[in-house]
Each structure stands twice: as C-alpha cells, then as structure tokens.
C-alpha cells in the first residue's frame, strides 16, 4: 500500500499529541509538529524523495532521528515510537484534544484522575456532572463539552481538500492507465474547490468500462467495495474517503461533468433555464424533445441556454448565472497573478529556514517580494520576537536586501492582538517596519461583542496593515471565533487596511463568502502562504482556489501589485508616530 506524506504527518502529530498529554519537553513536541508541517508542505511524496536517492535530512526540521522514523514508516507502515507511546496512553485519548477547551493539561487530568480515555467516557462523565468537580474545570466547561459532542455526532466526516488531493490524484492517475481510457476527471466539491471534501465523484470516458471497474477494484488503497455495476462503482478507501466512479459516453461527458460537479443549487437553476427554453438538461445531455442537441462538452451545455462557460469555483448559486446572463462574470485571479507573499516565518520563531532561504524559495516560486512576519513576544510557544530581537532582524533584512538580487524582502511582524485590543509591541517599534500583520492567537472564546471590539480597537492602532486569518478557524479542529465580520470588513474599508486569505489548507481564512463580502466593500484581500518552510509556498495554490470561489480578480488582491504600488498602499497603514 502506498505511503502518503499525510500518513506520516498524521503519525508525527499523534506522537506530539501523546507527548503533550505526557507533559513532555515542549521543544521535543514542537520538533514533531514542525516535521509534520514540513511533510504536508512537501510538493512530492517522501517515498519519491527517498526513491530518488535523496536524504530526508535535507528537509528542514528533519534530523537523523526523525528521518529514521520516516524511513521506518515507509518500509513497514508503522512507527515503533508511536506504538511505545500507545502502551502508556491509549490512542483514543487524543480525540479529547479536539474538544475546544481541553488542552493537554486538562486531558492529562481527565485521563489520570478519572480514567477517561475516549469520547464516550467523556460524555458519560459530563452527563454525570463529574467533570465540573475536577480542579480547573467547572460547570461551563462541562456544558461546552456536551454541546461540542452533540454537534460532532451530527457532522459527516469531511477531509481537507489538500488531504483529499493526496489520495484523489494518485487514484486519478491509476485509472487513467486502464486499457482504453480517454479521460479521467474528479468532479463534485473537489472540482469546485471547496475547502473540505465529503467524498469523491470521478468521471471516466473509455471505450470499454470493464477495464476501468477492474482497475478500481485492484487499487491498493481500496478497503471495501460498497457497490459495483457495469459502468459505476462505489468504494471506500483505507483512509475513510468514499469514491464514486462512473464511466460515461464521450457524447455525454460534458453534461455528466456539469451534473456531477454541481453544486445542486446551481444545477437546479440551470435546469430551470432549460425548461423555460423548452429544453431538458440531465447527466446524459441537453435534449429538445428526444433529440440531443448538446452535452459533449460543458461549454455546449451552457451555450444551449445562452450562457458563457461558468468556472466550477463559482457554481454555488450565489448570483453566477445572473452575472453570466449580464456578461458580468469576473476574470478570476490566477496563481501567476501573485507578485509577492506578505506572511511568512523563519527559524527565528517557529519556522524552519533562514530569511535568505525563505527569500530564495519565494523567488523560485516566481515572486518579486516576500514579507518576513515572525511572531511577536506574546506567543511564547513560538519563541516570539521582543523589540530588541525584531530590531536586529530588521537590520539583517536590510543587509540581505543589499546582497540578494531579484526579490525584495519586506520587514514585518505577525503581532498578537491582546485581549484589550492593543498590539503586542509598541508603535514606536512597529512604525519602523514595512507592514504589520496582526492576529488573534488566544482568548478565542470571548463573546461576539468583546471579540469584535477587540479587533476594531487593534485596527485603530497607528500601525496596522493586515488582519491575519480573521476568524481564527482551523478546519475540522477549531470553530471560527464569534465576531461581527461585516462590521470588521466595513472598518477595514474605512481605515484603509487589508484582510488576509491565509492559504494554509486547514485555515483558508477568509472563507469564500467573506472574500466576496470584502470585494463588495472595496477591501483588498492579501492571499498569503503563512509559510513556515521553504516548501510551504506551494500552499498558495489553495489560497488562489479559495480566492476564485470568492469571485476575486487580480485587482481585488493586494499582493498582485508591483512592489512600488504595494509599498505606497502599505505606507498608508503605517503612521510614522503613535
């Protein structure tokens, strides 16, 4: 069975979780976290890296010990270090960490004091009011636990799109090699660029469906075949992802692709247009009576009802059909439109590479400028910079800009927004930077009013350029903070500052809906990588996909500007005195 980077990264994250519960050295925990981040940001599989004869220790943050563990996993599918930890702490205990408010210390207390090692036991203890009796908990925490558990039961498992891609793309490649296959396309929410994916819909055109069905059943990562016919099969992969594969005729491929790409609401609107024109649209084609008049291509389906082609990312019934009718569809941003990246980290805090290495990596990605925005002092777990270390870094950047050609390094900081809305460093220091990226990193559970006031006060600071990952969400892990985002967007428009679309696959924050809201308010969005390693700039592709879903054009995005235009815009956010 192929080993994916996500499999190894998940094992490292699991080790880090268990070590935290054991109250292990935080630097040791962080090493595993960084290794997982490196693997997820690696454009190729670690197995391919090794097959090419390259040393894993060439990767940032991967020392001899971690490289040995990766090789062990590649060869056996197991990691003995993880198995040893499971002898001390059951794997199910890690699930407790996913409950908001239950950090490692509290999980450790639950496990050691109450013997709670899984979610079922946690729920029974909460319903029996045993949790509130433990030191450091309380009735509110207990009630929150019950609410989260109830919410989780209602949710269908969804995969980050980036994670799903690790399984979807190899499967697409495998099926494309079956005898007689012409094309293989992944449709559904995956093709529309949704940030999470519930399952995969794969369409195949082939001279004969039998070899396709056989290839699917022989695929190494298929755990179970749920159903199978002559032209359709549904399987469950070992990672838990369900896949529906359909073989369709070439003459119907466009209609089938449109139908199975969705969204359902978009397709319903399209069918209503067809009905008004005396036509019928289904997955087999466009029909006038019994005569097929279109369906071989998606373009022909849209043309049949008088519309231009609508990009898959826009197909969410948010006005795209009306815009198409008026000839007002946006020319969506492309990855090649980005001129720079305004959020990145180095080994000075929680990154894995030097300033120079990050700049060279950004340059290799075709960027003209890169902002170094290491964390500020409040984020101690990331070794945040105090004023003196920040000033020293600024001097280092000045020296590097004299040395390096082809890319400009900008001086920045990702400064914490404190609970009262003040920033973590004084304005007299911040005003010497090119930009200030500000973020909420703690106190996520404030009320909607207090959280909104906190951010608005921060935006009133003399030096405030970009609000980073504005809602603080971590997909499948942490809900967005409670804020009045409409009010924050309006404040950004009034103050002339910007909002970030963070491209990290578990953030993608702003989401698509709020990207559109920012666009409509005239607020520029900065599509940033939040890169912590030289490989991590690849996540910009996910940010661009999200930007497309938010209807953003190149002119709606801050970092599509030339360096000269950018600096002029940033200067307006940086007052020279407090």
In this predicted model, which residue has the larger pLDDT, 520 or 381? 520
By percentage, how much of the chain surpasses pLDDT 70?
Answer: 98
Whole-angstrom distance, CA of residue 480 vs CA of residue 486? 14
Note the pLDDT tens digit of each residue in 67-113: 999 999 999 988 999 989 888 887 778 778 878 778 788 888 888 88
Mean pLDDT of the chain: 93
Homologous superfamily in CATH for domain 156-248: Beta Polymerase, domain 2 (3.30.460.10)
Note the pLDDT tens digit of each residue in 18-27: 898 888 888 8
Is the domain covering 264-329 a CATH 3.30.360.10 domain? Answer: no
What are the sequence ranges of the domains in the chain? 5-154, 156-248, 264-329, 335-571
Assessment of whether the complete model's pTM goes beyond 0.95: no
CATH topology of domain 335-571: TIM Barrel (3.20.20)
Other beta carbons within 10 angstroms of residue 160's beta carbon come to: 21
By percentage, how much of the chain surpasses pLDDT 90?
Answer: 76
Other beta carbons within 10 angstroms of residue 44's beta carbon come to: 12
Whole-angstrom distance, CA of residue 421 vs CA of residue 436? 15
- Section 487-498 average pLDDT: 97
For residue 557, report the phi and psi dihedrals to the nearest 5 degrees. Answer: -115, 125
Please report which confidence band the pLDDT of residue 154 belongs to, taking 50, 70 and 90 as the band edges: low
Tokens (6 digits) for 435: 């930009």
Please report which confidence band the pLDDT of residue 1 belongs to, taking 50, 70 and 90 as the band edges: low
Q: In the predicted model, is pLDDT for residue 384 greater than 50?
A: yes
Q: In the predicted model, is pLDDT for residue 231 greater than 50?
A: yes
> Which burial class, exposed, middle or buried, applies to 325 when counting CB atoms under 10 A from its CB (0-12, 13-18, 19+)?
middle
Q: Which residue in the block uniquely carries the two structure tokens 């195949």? A: 204
Other beta carbons within 10 angstroms of residue 576's beta carbon come to: 10
Homologous superfamily in CATH for domain 5-154: DNA polymerase beta, N-terminal domain-like (1.10.150.110)
Note the pLDDT tens digit of each residue in 245-276: 999 999 999 999 999 999 999 999 999 999 99
Helix (H) or strand (E) segment spanning residue 246: strand 242-248
What pLDDT is recorded for position 184?
98
Note the pLDDT tens digit of each residue in 438-450: 999 999 989 999 9
Going 459 to 461 to 464 to 469, the CA torsion angle's sign is negative
Name the nearest CA neighbour of 541 among 529, 549, 550.
529
Please report which confidence band the pLDDT of residue 577 belongs to, taking 50, 70 and 90 as the band edges: very low
What pLDDT is recorded for position 464?
98
Query: What beta strand segments (E) does 313-390 contain?
Result: 340-341, 369-372
**Is residue 299 helix, strand or coil?**
helix
Q: In the predicted model, is pLDDT for residue 153 greater than 80?
A: no
Whole-angstrom distance, CA of residue 451 vs CA of residue 442? 11
């Amino acid at each position: 069975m192929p080993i994916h980077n996500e499999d190894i990264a998940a094992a490292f994250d699991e080790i880090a979780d268990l070590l935290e519960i054991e109250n292990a050295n935080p630097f040791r925990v962080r090493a595993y976290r960084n290794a997982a981040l490196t693997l997820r940001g690696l454009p190729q599989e670690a197995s391919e890296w090794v097959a090419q004869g390259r040393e894993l220790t060439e990767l940032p943050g991967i020392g001899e010990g971690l490289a040995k563990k990766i090789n062990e996993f590649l060869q056996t599918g197991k990691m003995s270090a993880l198995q040893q930890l499971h002898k001390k702490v059951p794997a199910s205990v890690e699930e407790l960490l996913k409950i908001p408010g239950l950090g490692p210390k509290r999980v450790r207390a639950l496990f050691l004091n109450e013997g709670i090692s899984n979610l079922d036991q946690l729920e029974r203890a909460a319903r029996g009011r045993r949790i509130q009796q433990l030191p450091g908990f309380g009735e509110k925490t207990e009630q929150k636990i019950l609410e989260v558990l109830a919410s989780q039961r209602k949710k269908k498992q969804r995969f980050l799109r980036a994670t799903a891609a690790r399984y979807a793309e190899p499967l697409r490649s495998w099926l494309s090699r079956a005898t007689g296959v012409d094309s293989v396309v992944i449709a559904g929410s995956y093709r529309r660029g949704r940030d999470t994916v519930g399952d995969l819909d794969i369409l195949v055109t082939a001279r004969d469906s039998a070899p396709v069905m056989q290839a699917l059943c022989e695929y190494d990562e298929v755990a179970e075949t749920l159903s199978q016919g002559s032209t359709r099969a549904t399987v469950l992969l070992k990672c838990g992802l369900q896949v529906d594969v359909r073989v369709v005729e070439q003459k119907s491929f466009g209609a089938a692709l449109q139908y199975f790409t969705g969204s359902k609401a978009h397709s319903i609107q399209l069918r209503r247009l067809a009905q008004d024109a005396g036509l019928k649209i289904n997955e087999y084609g466009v029909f006038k009576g019994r005569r097929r008049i279109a369906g071989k291509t998606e373009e022909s389906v849209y043309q049949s009802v008088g519309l231009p082609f609508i990009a898959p990312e826009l197909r969410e019934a948010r006005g795209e059909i009306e815009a198409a009718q008026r000839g007002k569809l946006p020319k969506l941003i492309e990855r090649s439109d980005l001129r720079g990246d305004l959020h990145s980290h180095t080994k000075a805090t929680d990154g894995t590479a030097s300033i120079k290495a990050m700049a060279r990596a950004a340059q290799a990605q075709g960027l003209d400028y890169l902002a170094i925005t290491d964390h500020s002092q409040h984020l101690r777990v990331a070794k945040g910079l105090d004023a003196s270390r920040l000033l020293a870094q600024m001097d280092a950047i000045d020296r590097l800009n004299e040395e390096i050609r082809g890319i400009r390094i900008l001086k920045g900081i990702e400064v914490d927004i404190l609970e009262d809305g003040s920033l973590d460093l004084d304005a007299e220091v911040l005003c010497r930077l090119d930009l200030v990226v500000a973020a909420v990193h703690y106190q996520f559970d404030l009320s909607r009013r207090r959280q909104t006031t906190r951010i608005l006060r921060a935006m009133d600071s003399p030096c405030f350029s970009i609000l980073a990952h504005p809602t603080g969400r971590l997909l499948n892990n942490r809900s967005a903070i409670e804020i009045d985002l409409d009010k924050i967007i309006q404040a950004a428009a009034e103050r002339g500052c910007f909002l970030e679309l963070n491209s990290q696959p578990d953030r993608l924050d702003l989401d698509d809906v709020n990207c559109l809201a920012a666009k409509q308010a005239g607020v520029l969005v900065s599509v940033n990588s939040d890169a912590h390693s030289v490989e991590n700039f690849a996540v910009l592709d996910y940010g661009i996909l999200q930007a497309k879903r938010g209807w953003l054009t190149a002119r709606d995005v801050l970092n599509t500007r030339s360096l000269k235009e950018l600096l002029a815009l940033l200067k307006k956010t940086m007052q020279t005195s407090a």
